């Protein structure tokens, strides 16, 4: 029995009725391969949709009710489409409620539904479990209600739901990658304009291995705000030479280093060096991938981590320990933190012949270094949101 059959069977157990009118949708999680902490500096990010995420079984109802259940949480509930409001007691259900609310705000007529979610993304790991719930909810509600789906607009509505309904100030990358991913391709995305293109990622005998430090990103929110204000201050100093400058990543590395002396504080200079350098690394990463040079891409990943560690200072001992262990293991082309930092995950490129040994070696070294157990996921790059046909 495949995953689709399993979730449909569970759906019927919970909600009753027939399996014949149940439809199934899937939205992936994402990993950012390179390009960290530059989206708000006008840079480009480079995420990829994963082959695992959130699957949703859904059936239209004849009323205005949403009945919500999860294979991952005991909490279940019911909501009225005409009286949707955030409620802390509703936990995970606020995400689909928020998407339904904002779809209607944008003029979409949607129907009541029974909905069962099955998420395969660890919560708090930085792989976008919330974004995949939002995107699959929006796609399914639109499809069941007879609307065509613009996946770029869907990503924006999903982000709006998280920002305004749930109250989490996330950027657009997570929802965008989940909605617009493409198998065996990464997404080169400029977050402020939503200009994007798919770039082939030919991994061949190399696998993407995500390492979960087991540390929730407790400092990420507060430090994010500090880093952002530091970058804005650096821009203000550079405007003495570039009066129209709005964002650091508008500068080439050459232009930046010629005028770095205008920034009086070394901490601000370090933050700006990371932003400008990381944006250049993303563009170079696309270039080397188009030449099918995975070794060069792996080196850029590692360079990215070093910059985040020494210039942007958002890694922390756990992420650093895991990356160092990864780089010491055989068959590794590169490794870096991914996400906001201060916990969460690393991403490494590992030869398929060494994956099992990598997991053992890095897990042991990480445990010795910080006393925590790591969890690893061997990933492929999958498609964005879609209907799962029977």
Among residues 168, 53, 166, 161, which one has the least CA distance to residue 100? 161
The set of residues, in sequence order, having a beta carbon less than 8 Å from that of 318 and lying 6+ positions away, is 213, 214, 215, 343, 366, 370, 372
Residue 322's φ and ψ, nearest 5 degrees, are -70, -40
Looking at the domain assignment, is residue 33 inside a domain?
A: yes
Q: What percent of the chain has pLDDT over 90?
A: 90
Q: What's the confidence (pLDDT) of residue 220?
A: 58
Q: What's the confidence (pLDDT) of residue 224?
A: 84
d(CA 158, CA 131): 7
Long-range contacts of 260-268 (CB under 8 A, 24+ apart): 262/237, 262/238, 263/234, 263/237, 263/238, 264/237, 267/230, 268/230, 268/233, 268/234, 268/237
Q: What percent of the chain has pLDDT over 70?
A: 97
Residue 221 has pLDDT above 70, yes or no: no
Q: What's the confidence (pLDDT) of residue 312?
A: 98
The per-residue pLDDT for range 330-344, each reduced to its tens digit, is 999 999 999 889 888
Among residues 89, 122, 189, 166, which one has the least CA distance to residue 137? 166
Strand partners, 58: 23, 115
Beta strand residue intervals within the chain, DSSP E: 23-32, 44-45, 47-60, 65-70, 77-80, 113-119, 185-190, 195-200, 206-212, 332-338, 345-351, 375-379, 386-387
Range of the domain at 141: 3-200+382-387
Mean pLDDT over residues 59-75, rounded?
A: 95
Looking at the domain assignment, is residue 330 inside a domain?
A: no
d(CA 170, CA 133): 14
244 tagged catalytic = no
Distances (CA, A) of 183 to 52, 57, 118, 177: 12, 22, 21, 11
Q: Which strands, in side-by-side order, build the sheet including 345-351?
A: 332-338, 345-351, 206-212, 375-379
Residue 222 has pLDDT above 80, yes or no: no
| Number of domains comprising the chain | 1
Tokens in use for 246?
Answer: 């709005």
Q: What's the confidence (pLDDT) of residue 126?
A: 65
* C-beta of residue 331 within 8 angstroms of C-beta of residue 350: yes
**The one catalytic residue among 114, 118, 174, 320:** 174
Tokens in use for 154?
Answer: 């869907």
Distances (CA, A) of 388 to 92, 116, 379: 23, 14, 20
Q: What's the confidence (pLDDT) of residue 21?
A: 95
d(CA 56, CA 388): 9
Mean pLDDT over residues 321-338, rounded?
A: 98
CATH of the domain at 140: 3.30.230.10
Q: What's the confidence (pLDDT) of residue 302?
A: 98
d(CA 334, CA 326): 8
Distances (CA, A) of 272 to 45, 128, 211, 238: 17, 27, 28, 10
Residue 226's φ and ψ, nearest 5 degrees, are -65, -50
Q: Coil, strand, or helix at residue 319?
A: helix
Q: What's the confidence (pLDDT) of residue 171?
A: 83
The per-residue pLDDT for range 115-129, each reduced to its tens digit, is 999 998 876 666 778
The per-residue pLDDT for range 130-184, each reduced to its tens digit, is 999 999 999 999 999 999 999 999 999 999 999 999 988 788 999 999 999 999 9
- What end-to-end distance do the CA atoms of the chain give, in Å? 11
Looking at the domain assignment, is residue 93 inside a domain?
A: yes
Q: Sign of dihedral through CA atoms 303, 204, 44, 255?
A: positive
* C-beta of residue 28 within 8 angstroms of C-beta of residue 66: no
């Amino acid at each position: 029995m495949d995953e689709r059959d399993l979730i449909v069977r569970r759906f019927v157990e919970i909600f009753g009725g027939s399996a014949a009118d149940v439809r199934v949708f899937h939205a992936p999680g994402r990993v950012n391969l390179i390009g960290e902490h530059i989206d708000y500096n006008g840079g480009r990010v480079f995420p990829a949709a994963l082959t695992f995420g959130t699957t949703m079984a859904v059936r239209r109802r004849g009323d205005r009710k949403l009945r919500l259940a999860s294979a991952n949480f005991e909490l279940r509930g019911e909501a009225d489409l005409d009286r949707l409001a955030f409620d802390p007691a509703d936990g995970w259900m606020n995400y689909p409620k928020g998407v339904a609310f904002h779809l209607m705000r944008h003029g979409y007529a949607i129907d009541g539904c029974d909905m069962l979610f099955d998420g395969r993304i660890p919560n708090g790991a930085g792989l976008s479990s919330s974004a995949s719930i939002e995107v699959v909810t929006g796609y399914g509600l639109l499809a069941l209600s007879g609307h065509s789906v613009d996946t770029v607009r869907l990503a924006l509505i999903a982000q709006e739901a998280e920002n305004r309904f749930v109250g989490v100030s996330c950027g657009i990358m997570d929802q965008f990658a989940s909605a617009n991913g493409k198998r065996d391709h990464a997404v080169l995305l400029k977050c402020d304009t939503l200009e994007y293109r798919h770039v082939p990622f030919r991994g061949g005998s190399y696998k993407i291995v995500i390492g979960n430090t087991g540390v929730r990103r407790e400092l990420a929110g507060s430090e994010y705000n500090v880093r952002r204000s530091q970058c804005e201050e650096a821009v203000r100093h550079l405007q003495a030479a570039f009066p129209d400058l709005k964002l650091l990543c508008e500068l080439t590395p050459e232009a930046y280093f010629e005028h770095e002396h205008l920034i009086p504080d070394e901490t601000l200079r370090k933050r700006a060096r990371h932003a400008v350098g990381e944006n250049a690394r993303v563009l170079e990463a696309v270039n080397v991938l188009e030449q099918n040079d995975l070794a060069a891409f792996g080196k850029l990943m590692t360079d990215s981590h070093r910059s985040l560690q020494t210039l942007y200072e958002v890694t922390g001992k756990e992420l650093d320990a895991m990356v160092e262990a990864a780089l010491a293991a055989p068959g590794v082309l590169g490794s870096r933190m991914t996400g906001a930092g201060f916990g969460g995950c690393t991403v490494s490129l590992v030869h398929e012949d060494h994956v099992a040994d990598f997991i053992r070696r890095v897990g042991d070294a990480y445990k010795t270094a910080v006393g925590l157990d790591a969890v690893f996921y061997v990933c492929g790059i999958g498609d964005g949101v879609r209907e799962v046909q029977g």
